[in-house]
Amino acid sequence: MEKAEVASRKGKRAEIEKSVLVIGGGIAGIQASLDLADKGVIVHLVEKEPSLGGRMAQLDKTFPTNDCSICILAPKMADCFGHPNINVMTLSEVVGIEGSKGNFSVQVLKKARFVDENLCTGCGECLEKCPTKGVQNQWEQGLATRRAIYIPYMQAVPRAAIIDPENCRFLKEGKCGVCKKVCKREAVNYEMKDAILEFDVGAVIIATGFDVWDPTSSSEYGYGKNPNVFTAMEYERLINAAGPTHGHIKRRSDGNEPKSMAFIQCVGSRNIQTGHPYCCSVCCMHSTKEAMLATEHIEGVRSTIFYKDMRACAKGFNEYVERAKKDYMVEYINSDATVQGSSSAGNPIVSYDVGGKSQQKEFDMVVLATTLVPSEKNKVLAKTLAVDLDEFGFFKVRDHVFDPIDSTRPGVYLAGYCAGPVDIPESVAMGSAAAAKAMEDLMERKVYA
Amino acid sequence: MSRIKEIIEETGAFDCVECGKCTSLCPVAKRNKDFAPRLIVVKAQEGMEEEIKSDKDIWSCITCEICNDMCPYEVDFSGFIQRMRGEAKDSGNLPSCSQAGAVHTMERMTGMGQKQKRLAWLTDDLKVKDKGDVFYFTGCVYQLGILYNDRAPELKQVPANVVRILNAAGIEPVVSDKEVCCGHDLLWSGDEESFEKLMEQNIKVIKETGAKTVVFACAEGYRTFDMDYKDFFGDLGFEVKHISEYVLDLVNQGKLQLSAEGSKVTYHDSCRLGRHMGVYEEPRDLIKATGANLVEMSSNKEKAICCGVNAFVSCGEVSKRMQLDRLLEAKETGAEAMLTFCPKCLIHYNCLLSSDKKPPELDGLNLKVRDGSNFVAERLKGGGKSS
């Protein structure tokens, strides 16, 4: 039995028999990592963002229970980061892989954070002093700004600052250095360089999630034209207590609370023309959730959901929709809707079809359930890992019925939205399934090698 | 398989999921609450053939293709309407045509061999040929200019001006008095039989001249050749080009000089050139090449409001309201002129502008709706002469 030596996060060297590479630190990747690590397998978890958490961390609540999303996710993020068997690498991407099932050797590019995450306590003093203000905060969907040195978000793991080299004055022009001066822990290090790390692993799990489709290119929804048209992801940040408006739903045009809201589903999905003919599998439910939450945030707000078909098929989903109708007075209209102009008050005018009659109605705010699309980076990653993508750009599964976790390359497994539309519970189930599959590979070697 | 079933299959109407997006975008449905594209498809799918054959909604559609452009399932709704109109007509469901169908009658008669003076506009200063590489298909623009002399007399100058532009670039186009109407209006009013006669005549005439490229100054002719002729006939054996693409090429190659003149104009995308053919940039670039200050209306390109009438069918209140909305958008830009490359758009807008029942909103409007080719010809550097 060969043994590999692996550098763990804490710099100690641990002797192990086999380990697994997990790509993506969202809920699917976290679940897979924890399952493996709890069974004594060393996990190398690669995350391209500066924090674990992925998309679930951006959501306000989860359906159908309306649990606070980050509240149930954060403990798992912390478990993952603190686990003795998990080596979490943020700001990292896989750039090379060799070998075969049971015996891969991978190269990971770890980008410089310019802050030593072992030293940084996340006190935030540097953030207050950084003179570069007004950088768009992508994590808040551009609804807030940040400095050049920042902590990704309040519950970020690791809770350590990061310097964005594109906006940092010191890294660009060699002037400033304020953050280094104010840091009592001496964690700021402008000299930090990108590094290539190498590991031997027995199996690989891809859990890279999705991108949110940008509806700006689609002229029929008025997004980008009418300031009171939001995407669902923007809305999730608006209603989040830790979000840019501290949980107040505010119109972009005048900052007022909306009294009537429209939720338009299937924006960009189930649409051959946009190249996304699939059902995103979550927008029926998240629109329902968002409409409920609107009522909880604003008294007397009236919400209308425009849907193509109501797809509430998992456990408790249909009851959830019924509850929205009964307890929250959410109105459901079976019609695709578009935004056709705006009123003099800046209200989007929504146009739809009821029984073959065209209707127009003004709403204070419109939320678009934009579809979730395969990440652009999938193409590069698929090439690196030598796995196939399907016709949409998701990772291709070997067999939809009997191998729904296997990629097209033996020893490489898939979990979460990167393999196709799923919701959070399904992503978690896939994470566990992928962990079990990876475990099988490791066991196989143990028994027969 | 019944013919309606065939139409449903072939136009993709079978894929309709009844989402209603078409209705939400349809400019007719917005102004006529009894009309909904989705219902027409649903009725056909559900086999209500008899009803659809007597349904007036088949004729209310203006075939502007906003629905085609936005349908998530790529249903070819205008193609569906085009073919259903044939079925409707065969079972006696007839459209109400403008001017009691004068244009349709004229076009149908040319298909039966009625001679027209197609080259009555041709003056001695224009250089044209009988055989050559470039054929200029004039279409009915001159005849329409005569028929609608009261509202769009400018149309009569279009063919001569197009030849003038080509001459200025050193091109002597082929023109023929044997060409006939392209058949657009007949096809869109359900008369496929007459359409095919006209098509065969036109293709024969063009092939005899040995032309490799056929140029159109008319958006409808361009669409009809490029889409419908190819559907009905197959490969045409020559290339079709819209004047804006063709002339813009000449300008870019330095073969044609335009005088810079800074008038403020706006451009109206006709449905045929815009949504049907996807030609949005070339007309704009050509207009800009004249030095004009091109300003956009609030609905433009694939969102442009249609002129409200297609194939001289079902002109009514909805059409007038659409024309008004469009002209108000043009008014807002402050442009002196609204340019378009479709003779029909020109006629329909000028119809409202010259009407004695002109809506009060248009009072004091100092906007001309003009043909793009005429506009360009007036700005030819040296030699170009407009009448």
- Cβ pairs A/B, distance under 8 A: 73
Tokens 């936005």 correspond to B70
pLDDT confidence of A251, banded at 50, 70, 90? very high
Instruction: Report yes or no on A117 lying in a domain.
Output: no
For position A78, which CATH number holds? Answer: 3.50.50.60
Average pLDDT (A105-116) is 96
Is the pLDDT at B91 greater than 90? The verdict is no
Same CATH fold assignment for domains B3-90 and B257-377: no
Residue A250 sits in the same domain as residue A142: no
Residues in chain B: 387
Q: Give the pLDDT confidence score for residue A242 in this predicted structure.
A: 93
Summarize pLDDT for B17-64 with one digit per residue, the tens: 899 999 999 999 999 988 999 998 888 888 887 787 788 889 999 999
pLDDT confidence of A257, banded at 50, 70, 90? very high
pLDDT confidence of B382, banded at 50, 70, 90? low
pTM of the model: 0.86
- Minimum distance, in Å, between the CA of residue A23 and any CA atom of chain B: 34
Write down the architecture of domain B98-251 according to CATH: 3-Layer(aba) Sandwich (3.40)
Across A332-336, B260-264, B343-347, least confident range:
B260-264
Is the pLDDT at B2 greater than 50? The verdict is yes
Check if B302 contacts A (Cβ < 8 Å): yes
Is the pLDDT at A41 greater than 90? The verdict is yes
Cβ within 8 Å, pair A351-B72:
no
Q: Give the pLDDT confidence score for residue A441 in this predicted structure.
A: 85
Residue A314 sits in the same domain as residue A175: no
Nearest to A220 among B20, B25, B73 (CB): B25
Q: At what angle do helices B77-90 and B37-45 cross, to 10 degrees?
A: 60
Residue A361 sits in the same domain as residue A411: no
Is the pLDDT at A424 greater than 60? The verdict is yes
Whether ipTM > 0.85 holds is no
Q: Give the pLDDT confidence score for residue A440 in this predicted structure.
A: 87
Check if B21 contacts A (Cβ < 8 Å): yes
In the stretch 42-101 of chain B, residues with CB closer than 8 A to chain A read 70-74
The domain ranges of chain B are: 3-90, 98-251, 257-377
Smallest CA-to-CA distance from A260 within A227, A298, A234 is with A298
Instruction: Report yes or no on A187 lying in a domain.
Output: no
Euclidean distance between CA atoms A127 and A149, whole angstroms: 6
Euclidean distance between CA atoms B92 and A124, whole angstroms: 79
Euclidean distance between CA atoms A95 and A197, whole angstroms: 10
Indicate left, alpha or beta for B159 from its phi (over 0: left) and psi (-120 to 50: alpha): alpha
Summarize pLDDT for A348-400 with one digit per residue, the tens: 999 999 988 999 999 999 999 999 999 999 999 999 999 999 999 999 999 99
Q: How many domains does chain A have?
A: 3
- Minimum distance, in Å, between the CA of residue A50 and any CA atom of chain B: 37
Cβ within 8 Å, pair A272-B17:
no
What mean pLDDT value characterizes chain B?
Answer: 92
Give the chain B residue nearest A350 (alpha carbons).
Answer: B24
Cβ within 8 Å, pair A357-B73:
no
Is the pLDDT at A3 greater than 70? The verdict is no
Higher pLDDT, A8 or A190: A190
Is the pLDDT at B12 greater than 80? The verdict is yes
Euclidean distance between CA atoms A431 and A429, whole angstroms: 5
Is the pLDDT at A171 greater than 70? The verdict is yes
Is the pLDDT at B148 greater than 70? The verdict is yes
Residue A80 sits in the same domain as residue A203: yes
CATH of domain B3-90: 1.10.1060.10
Q: Give the pLDDT confidence score for residue A166 in this predicted structure.
A: 94
Q: Give the pLDDT confidence score for residue A444 in this predicted structure.
A: 56
Euclidean distance between CA atoms A363 and A302, whole angstroms: 10
The whole domain housing A244 covers: 213-372
What percent of chain A lies above the pLDDT cut of 70?
95
Average pLDDT (B352-380) is 92
Average pLDDT (B273-278) is 96
Is the pLDDT at A284 greater than 50? The verdict is yes
CB within 8 A of A448, min separation 6: which ones? none
Residue A175 sits in the same domain as residue A246: no
Is the pLDDT at A2 greater than 90? The verdict is no
The answer to whether the CB of A367 falls within 8 A of the CB of A261 is yes
For B257-377, which CATH class?
alpha beta
- Minimum distance, in Å, between the CA of residue A126 and any CA atom of chain B: 47
Give the chain A residue nearest B30 (alpha carbons).
Answer: A358
Is the pLDDT at B226 greater than 50? The verdict is yes
Beta bridge partners of A86: A43
pLDDT confidence of A14, banded at 50, 70, 90? very low
Average pLDDT (A49-74) is 96
CB within 8 A of A213, min separation 6: which ones? A267, A268, A269, A274, A276, A370, A371, A372, A373
Cβ within 8 Å, pair A356-B71:
no
Give B330's DSSP letter. H
Residue A200 sits in the same domain as residue A222: no
Smallest CA-to-CA distance from A412 within A104, A24, A109 is with A104
